[in-house]
Amino acid sequence: MKYSQIDNTLFIKNRKKFTNKLDANSVAFFNSNDIYPVSADSTLPFEQHRDIFYLSGIDQEESILVLFPDSIDEIFKEILFIRETNDHIVHWEGEKLTKSDAFEISGIKNVHWLGEFDEILSKILKEVNHVYINTNEHYRQNVETQTREDRFIEKLKNFGGLSFKKSNPILQYQRSVKDEIELSLIKKACDITKKGFERVLSFVKPGVWEYEIEAEFSHEFLRNKSKRFAYTPIIASGINSNYLHYIKNNKQCQSGEIILMDVGAEYANYSSDMTRTIPVNGKFTTRQKTIYQAVLNVKKSATELLRPGILWKDYHIEVGNIMTSELLKIGLLNKVDIQNQTKKKPAYKKYFSHGTSHHMGLDTHDYCDLDMPFEKNMVLTVEPGIYIMEEGFGIRLEDDVVINENGSPTNLMANIPIEIEEIEELMN
């Protein structure tokens, strides 16, 4: 791992909070992700399943976490299974976790080799009343690939007579409210993103290619211990800035155009999520400034709405009202548009078609319960945009903020330039 080792008190607390929500005499299982094949002997880089990482800190393939807090046998209360290594594996793949490594990372005393799992599994299942399985319940999930977790659930069903419950409803809430250690890791990811953006500001000029800008971000992220982008980067110049999930990044940037860059570094598996829009030649046109300032005004107002007790749906309705007001001011909407709008199709959606915020953490679109009011230490993005297809450009701005108990949220990206004058000064 490129990142510094995380204080294992985080994972100890996370497990305690989770097991306190389990029904009596229940066991919960969590599996690592697979290493996914490409073709021939090629594979994608390993990415750990965020739930087992959240509860253990283990960032290695073929690991299993077992939580059985009511077991009469002390050694079954918390068990971690890891892949047993040997000289051959070390020679070809490098060192793997030892049992002492796994204990130091996770705080779990009972660490076993994976080869012992089936025997211990049979013993545990004879004792329990309920088995908690870990299915993907995220409101945006659309996974077609069978996961290691899926195969494990099928294996459990072969035992017969088991009563199944789901871990995810517990984790949906628990993971949405961040520990102070988690907040520091997200801030670290945001600070790395800042370094990438500052590097790009001095690099961009007419004639550069979108993929060259992506490469500059990648260079700065890697040299600051971010092993990857938190999500596929969007480097969208000119007309491409109107395409919300544009990822081709293969156009040459021309003078007079703007570049919308939706990019974030990850650190220790925690995400950041930033969007900035800059002029290719270092100077916004008058029209670009008008739209940019309108988006920035909405972002600032929307940020102030993020307070404990506010409901997700009410927040987005109010942001829609703020955006409508800005669009009227700059002439993109008129009174007739407002008179003709409906509840299902508000007028502002013509120019601002996506949501304003999403939860963020171990996943860029992190776990949350959308029916729950916002709470202290939730981390959300704020990312309004205005997209004008007929004028050939769109502008989006995005920061990551932490909800506080009282007062305004804390902007984790407050030190990343965003004002028009800042951007132009730094580019020139």
Q: Give the mean pLDDT of 375-395.
A: 98
Confidence class of residue 70 from pLDDT cuts 50, 70 and 90? Answer: very high
* Spatial CA neighbour of 291 closest among 155, 420, 380, 175: 420
pLDDT attached to residue 399: 98
Q: Give the mean pLDDT of 278-283.
A: 98
The pTM for the full model equals: 0.97
Angstrom CA distances, 57 to 77, 244, 256, 363, 366, stand at 18, 33, 47, 15, 17
Strands 399-402 and 164-166: unpaired
Whether 328 has a pLDDT exceeding 80, the answer reads yes
β-partners of residue 166 are 133
Retrieve residue 299's tokens: 């972002």
Phi and psi, residue 131, nearest 5°: -120, 120
pLDDT attached to residue 2: 85
To the nearest whole number, what is the mean pLDDT of the chain? 97
Retrieve residue 405's tokens: 């108990």
Whether 266 has a pLDDT exceeding 80, the answer reads yes
Give per-residue pLDDT as tens, 183-194: 999 999 999 999
Domains and CATH numbers, the chain: 9-174 (3.40.350.10), 180-427 (3.90.230.10)
* Spatial CA neighbour of 372 closest among 319, 312, 318: 312
Q: Give the mean pLDDT of 116-138.
A: 96
Give per-residue pLDDT as tens, 88-108: 988 898 999 999 999 999 999
Retrieve residue 128's tokens: 């329990």
Give per-residue pLDDT as tens, 221-261: 999 999 899 999 999 999 999 999 999 999 999 999 999 99
d(CA 298, CA 321): 10
Angstrom CA distances, 411 to 265, 303, 368, stand at 16, 9, 20
Phi and psi, residue 167, nearest 5°: -75, -30
Angle 286-305/420-427 helices, nearest 10 degrees?
130
Retrieve residue 272's tokens: 């950041």
Whether 144 has a pLDDT exceeding 90, the answer reads no
Q: Which residue pairs, CB below 8 angstroms and at least 24 apart, start in 141-147?
A: 145/36, 147/31, 147/33, 147/34, 147/49
Give per-residue pLDDT as tens, 294-322: 999 999 999 999 999 999 999 999 999 99
